[in-house]
Amino acid sequence: MRKRIHLTIIGFFLLLNGSLFAQTAGWGAGLSFGEPTGVCVKKWLDAEHAITGSIAYSVATVNNQLSVNANYVWNELRVVGYNSRYGEQYGVGLRICTRPNESPQFGLRLSASFIWYPNKFPCDFFVEGAPVLYFNPYSGVGMDASAGIRFYFSRSNSK
């Protein structure tokens, strides 16, 4: 409990730091809730492209499934109001699932997200759906669905 309080306080100080920025630069980290639930990251490559990933735990299965995924994503953003942005994000990547006493399972992951970047905070909010086509060690189809938030930690060069 004490650790959560410390992390919450650190998070608020990061939000209040005026030299942080969001949108289409730097990298961000946060939490995603759904299936699976875990830690997510995003690294912008340019104003339209990024790499996303997560390390997450399956809360819907009883077999202790841990998954790791990475996607290359394209963003289509629109400006609303005073620099607030929203849009879609589409991606393709890989997913690896591990279970105790079983071989890792590999799959191709296609993702589609709706993202909103608030005006004054260095973060984004997202809702994502991602079908997964498993191909090794056996074939099958799965589905990831989550909602979450990422906070951006890159510093601007201006003072």
Q: How confident is the model at residue 12 (pLDDT cuts 50, 70, 90)?
A: very low
pLDDT, tens only, 24-83: 678 999 999 999 999 999 999 998 999 999 999 987 776 678 999 999 999 998 888 777
Residue 107 burial (10 A CB sphere; 0-12, 13-18, 19+): buried
pLDDT of residue 83: 72
Instruction: Determine, yes or no, domain membership for 29.
Output: yes
CATH number at residue 63: 2.40.160.20
Per-residue tokens: 141: 């189809």
Contact 105/96 with Cβ under 8 angstroms?
yes
Would residue 157 count as lying in a domain?
no
| Dihedral (Cα; 131, 91, 156, 118), 10-degree rounding | -60
148 located within any domain: yes
> What digits encode the pLDDT tens for the residues 100-138?
888 899 999 999 999 999 888 899 999 999 999 999 888
Quote the number of domains for the chain.
1
Q: Is residue 158 part of a domain?
A: no
Write down the residue that tokens 């608020």 correspond to: 12
Residue 148 has which token pair? 């979450």
DSSP structure class, residue 154: P
The reported pLDDT for the residue numbered 6 is 45
**Residue 126 within a domain:** yes
Is 159 inside a domain boundary?
no
Cα–Cα distance between 65 and 63 in angstroms, integer?
Answer: 6
* Residue 89 within a domain: yes
Secondary structure (DSSP) of 10-57: HHHHHHH-TTB--SSSSEEEEEEEEESEEEEEEEESSSSEEEEEEEEE
Q: What is the extent of the structural domain holding 107?
A: 2-152
